[in-house]
Chains A and B, each alone.
Chain A
Amino acid sequence: MGVFKKNGSQTVWFENPPVIISTASVVGPQEGEGPLGKTFDKVFYDTYCDEETWEKAEQRLMLEAMKKALQKANLQEKDIDFMLAGDLLNQIVSANFTASALSIPFLGLYGACSTMYEGMALGAMLIDGGFAARVLVGASSHYSTAERQFRFPTELGVQRPMTAQWTVTGAGAVVLAEKGSGPVITHATIGRVIDMGQADPQDMGAVMAPAAADTIVRHLQDTGRAYDYYDLIYTGDLGTYGKKLADHLLRQQGYDISDRFTDCGILIYSGAQDVHAGGSGCGCSAVVTCGYLIEKLKDGSYKRLLGIGTGSLHSPCSVQQGSTIPGIGHALVIEAR
């Protein structure tokens, strides 16, 4: 059997584009105080989110986002065919433990910070492939759990380089459905893993920028579209310097998209928040997409978005052993309907 719904080398298109019938975002204090604060469904004003540990807090964020997304769509757990979710912690415990509190068949994902986009792409495929009517997708991250696992204990006195990013404390969830009202996902471009030889875990923008640029170029080639078909092209968490690098790489290949190019990691915080190069983490693209960007599609400010969830695929162990860090980027086309 031939491949019917794939264009070019990496892009799939959906015959009946799955609908994003509801989204939810739950964040921590720093994100709540940021410029997008009003676009989130719930803000916790304590990083522990009324829990004992930060790990439990992250699960709480994800569970609340999942439940809120169901509630906004007037759905019960039994109405969902599959749940797809992931996070940054070892063995994706936040997603696994959240799934144990929801009685929905579950597939755990790891795409580092690109997990939300990986999940939405797979969810859309499940629906358009006829395997599911409704899929719940989510991703979470927490500054303190990620900092502890990937970098230093939070109370350790360290200076962060200007390229370091601030892991977003937050979780986003979407309900994708076969039919309904809301923005639709029309295409997904699955990224290749690209290792450009960068090895600095404090500069993940430089790790991910080549992967993001590669996926954008592939997407435009596969679909035959000009970049200005989209009102906005955004990446998940390249941060200030990563975005500059992606811009540069795209220009080298003949694409100047800078008039409509932004990054969720830049949008989520203001310059005054001492977050250095911007936000990062699974939660970054998840909450900005589920809050701000979907809102902008609904109020008509944007009609067509090209979003690239970006991920830095290292582990603390690979970094300690001096391995270089590969990056990935998955693109989705989200259009207002």
Chain B
Amino acid sequence: MAFFWAFVIGGALCVIGQLLMDLTSYKFTSAHVLVTFVTAGAIISAFGLYQPLVKLAGAGATVPLTGFGHLLAQGALNGVKENGILGAFSGGVTAAAAGITAAVVFGYLAALAFKPRG
């Protein structure tokens, strides 16, 4: 069942992204979609509404970039709970550190190892 919901919810989130592009006749680029998703994810998560989706869909909710926003927002909220106001500064990035570092390191290595093919 976990796989079914991961597929359906993950796919549905992507459909929203597709509509953002198609219905604005592509004035909305992939960069706009990514920024919108991470921001929307953080906001929804701050209101406590994203966690239920993660519970239902697992990777279907964490793999789309809204999940990245969720991770950042939950990190910041938990940081505040543990360390007060300083936690708002440290919590978000700490929670998302693995993803960010992986993206930087693997991105850097891939850029060094390959040549663009066009």
Residues of A bordering B, CB below 8 Å = 47, 54, 143-144, 152-161, 200, 202
Contact = CB atoms under 8 A, between A and B. Distances in A.
A143 B25 contact: no
B65 to A, nearest CB: 13
B21 A159 contact: yes
9 contacts: A47-B118, A144-B116, A152-B30, A154-B118, A155-B116, A156-B30, A159-B26, A161-B26, A202-B26
A157 B30 contact: yes
Nearest to B26: A161
- Shortest 8 CB-CB contacts between residues of A and residues of B: A144-B118, A161-B26, A47-B118, A154-B118, A158-B30, A155-B116, A154-B116, A202-B26
Nearest to A54: B118
Contacts, number: 25
B19 to A, nearest CB: 13
Contacts of A156: 30
B17 to A, nearest CB: 11
Contacts of B26: 159-161, 202
Contacts of B30: 152, 156-158
B83 interface: no
Interface string B6-27: 0000000000000001000111
A22 B33 CA distance: 50
Looking at chain B's contact residues, the main secondary structure is: loop
A156 B117 CA distance: 11
A276 to B, nearest CB: 12
Nearest to B111: A155
Contacts of B116: 144, 153-155
Interface-central residue, B25, B30, B116, B118, by most chain A CB under 10 Å: B118
Contact of B25 (A144, A154, A158, A161): A161
Contacts of A160: 26
A155 B25 contact: no
Contacts of A154: 116-118
A200 B25 contact: yes
Contact of B29 (A54, A144, A153, A158): A158
A143 B116 CA distance: 13
**Of B25, B27, B116, which is in contact with the most chain A CB atoms at under 10 Å from its CB?**
B116
Interface in B43-101: none
A281 B85 CA distance: 55
A54 B115 CA distance: 11
Contacts of B118: 47, 54, 143-144, 154
Contacts of B21: 159
A99 to B, nearest CB: 26
Given A152-B30, A158-B29, A200-B25, 6 more contacts: A47-B118, A54-B118, A143-B118, A144-B116, A152-B29, A161-B25
Contacts of A47: 118
A154 B116 CA distance: 7
A140 to B, nearest CB: 16
Nearest to A158: B30
A165 B118 CA distance: 15
A298 B116 CA distance: 40
Contacts of A54: 118
A153 B118 CA distance: 9
B16 to A, nearest CB: 15
A318 to B, nearest CB: 15
Nearest to A29: B118
A154 B118 CA distance: 5
A78 B25 CA distance: 52
A160 B116 CA distance: 19
A270 B116 CA distance: 25
A157 to B, nearest CB: 7
B24 to A, nearest CB: 11
B117 A155 contact: yes
A204 to B, nearest CB: 14
A155 B21 CA distance: 19
A159 B25 CA distance: 11
A33 to B, nearest CB: 14
